[in-house]
Amino acid sequence: MAAKQRTNNNLTQLMILLVAVIVVVVASVGFQHWWNSRPTDISAMEVTVTTDDGETVLSPYAVCELGADCAVQDPTIVPIKVEETASLKVPREVKDSEWKLLLLYDNPAASSEQVFAPGEIAAVNIPGSVEPLADNEARPTLLVAEVTAVIVGVNDAGEESPYSVTWALHTVDELPEFDGAVSSPAPETDRTPASATPSSATSSE
């Protein structure tokens, strides 16, 4: 009888232990979900560009609450040599959202735009120039690179709100005259295959 009682006590203790483990796991998953989905301090989010000369950090160039006016800053100047390929890495909040990469070259026909799905990729290569589009033409050289994503932030009223955020670099101090808009305020719905554009994916971490 005593042995049976001890067995019942052991089973009860085991069940209590299992319930406690389940509670801890559920709480941990819930906290992680809350942590990942909490409103972001957009002004502190940075895109990193690595060239032969070192690493440059880009702060947001334009921050626009959807439907409101934009606050635009000066773009960061990052010289990228014609013969080199730079690496651009976005923060986790951008990677976890749909984001757009726009590359503008001095020959507008060589310019390109890619849209990446949430979680698809965190880093891409950016060539300083691409192959000539016709015989006897110079290689188109990079002028502008922009990253745009829609991120949830907190507005002046303290409420969560979606923002269109753009990070921009120029490779020269003054852009030459060329046709075409620099960017649209948010990623488009159509996606361009990576193989069809000058940049290439390097990482999905």
How many angstroms separate the Cα of 16 from the Cα of each of 2, 5, 6, 53?
A: 21, 17, 15, 59
pLDDT of res. 98: 97
Q: Is 180 left (phi over 0), alpha (psi -120 to 50) or beta?
A: left
Residues 14-23: pLDDT tens digits? Answer: 777 776 667 6
Tens-digit pLDDT profile for residues 71-101: 789 999 999 999 999 999 999 999 999 999 9
60-72 tens-digit pLDDT: 999 999 888 887 8
Residue 71 pLDDT: 76
Does 183 score more than 50 pLDDT?
no
Most confident of 5-9, 11-15, 32-36: 11-15
pLDDT for 174 beyond 60: yes
Whole-number pLDDT of residue 68: 84
Identify the pLDDT of residue 158.
85
Residue 57 has pLDDT above 80, yes or no: yes
The whole-number pLDDT of residue 41 equals: 85
Three-state SS annotation for the chain: CHHHHHHHHHHHHHHHHHHHHHHHHHHHHHHHHHHHHCCCCHHHCCEEEEECCEEEEECCCEEEECCCCEEECCCEECCCCCCCEEEEECCHHHHCCCEEEEEEECCHHHCEEEEECCCCCCEEEEECECCCCCCCCCCCEEEEEEEEEEEEEECCCCCEEEEEEEEEEECCCCCCCCCCCCCCCCCCCCCCCHHHCCCEEEECC
**Predicted pLDDT of residue 25:** 57
Quote the pLDDT of residue 21.
66
The full set of domain ranges for the chain reads 1-38, 42-203
The pTM is what? 0.69
